[in-house]
Amino acid sequence: MSSEGGAYGITVVGLFFFFSGYGLVKQYVLKGKSYCNGFILKRAKKLLPCFFFITILCVIAENLLNINILELGGGKIGCILVPNSWYVYVLFFFYIVFAVCGRFFKKPIQIVSMLFGATFALILFTSIVNLGDWWWKSSFAFNVGTLLPLLEEKQRKNELGIAREKKILFFIFTILVVSAILNVFSLSYYKVRSIFMIVLTTILPIYLYLVFKKVTFYGNKILHFLGSLSYEIYLIHGVVLIIVKNVFLEMKTIQCVIIVYLVTIVFSLPIYKLSKWSLIKK
């Protein structure tokens, strides 16, 4: 699928990676090495049931509609089963590195450093086996997320001063705009855009983090609802997109986008409930 390396998808995954990395180290700072006890099993129970149910859904849809949905061809995409699910494999790679490092290292900065090394190992591996560069373009956002809890600790201890915050935000915003324009409109050479794509996926979470620290939310139920389904939404949207594009061949783009989003959200809820139910049964 050509959409695998699209700017929008990589950016969204970058945000997902950022909050995943931030949550990991934040919990480690609060709980210490005990947080690593049974870590991989807990994460597998959280992520795999949904992946399994959507894979079954893909098999059923393929047989009913006679279209190809599952990604089994390898090549630049890899045998990832569920469309656009490469980020699940990358995330599990980081989880494994985190769990192993938690066994051998005590200081959070040591674990964060090893996770940075894991990103370069990921780049090397995906390059050797000729996977698409979207497999690692979002990964530095994960690393930035792991670093922020440590910076927060320094800030609390008055070891890190934030000077001229408005100028910093404006500078970051300018970089984001330039990076987005180059990628959205496919300006300049691919390698140049790739560098700015990495910049975009890495800096956007930082900008949002700084902005939302100053914004007070009063329990928006819609945002909370969509946030609770974010994993399911992103995992199933590629499946819905393929089905809509193959079934409604002459549908206009705007109609296709609306239907994909609506159907994705509608199907995400029962899959979320089913995944939770399967965990309770276990």
pLDDT, residue 281, reads: 59
pLDDT value at 146 more than 90 = yes
pLDDT band at 50 (very low <50, low <70, confident <90, very high): very high
Q: Pick the residue with more confidence: 103 or 217?
A: 103
pLDDT, residue 89, reads: 93
pLDDT value at 55 more than 80 = yes
* Residue among 224, 229, 179 at smallest CA distance from 204: 179
pLDDT, residue 145, reads: 92
pLDDT, residue 143, reads: 93
How far is the C-alpha of 90 from the C-alpha of 86, rounded, in Å?
7
pLDDT value at 159 more than 50 = no
pLDDT value at 182 more than 50 = yes
Supply the mean pLDDT for the chain: 83
pLDDT band at 28 (very low <50, low <70, confident <90, very high): very high
pLDDT value at 36 more than 80 = yes
Q: Which amino acid is at 226?
A: L
pLDDT, residue 180, reads: 72
pLDDT band at 5 (very low <50, low <70, confident <90, very high): very low
pLDDT tens for each residue of 237-271: 889 989 988 888 777 778 888 888 899 999 899 99
How far is the C-alpha of 24 from the C-alpha of 35, rounded, in Å?
9
How far is the C-alpha of 145 from the C-alpha of 26, rounded, in Å?
9
pLDDT band at 79 (very low <50, low <70, confident <90, very high): confident
DSSP 188: S
How far is the C-alpha of 62 from the C-alpha of 56, rounded, in Å?
10
pLDDT value at 128 more than 70 = yes
Alpha helices in 105-220 (DSSP H): 108-128, 134-137, 139-156, 165-184, 190-212
pLDDT, residue 6, reads: 59
pLDDT band at 131 (very low <50, low <70, confident <90, very high): confident
**Do 236 and 54 touch, CB atoms closer than 8 A?**
yes
Q: Pick the residue with more confidence: 153 or 117?
A: 117
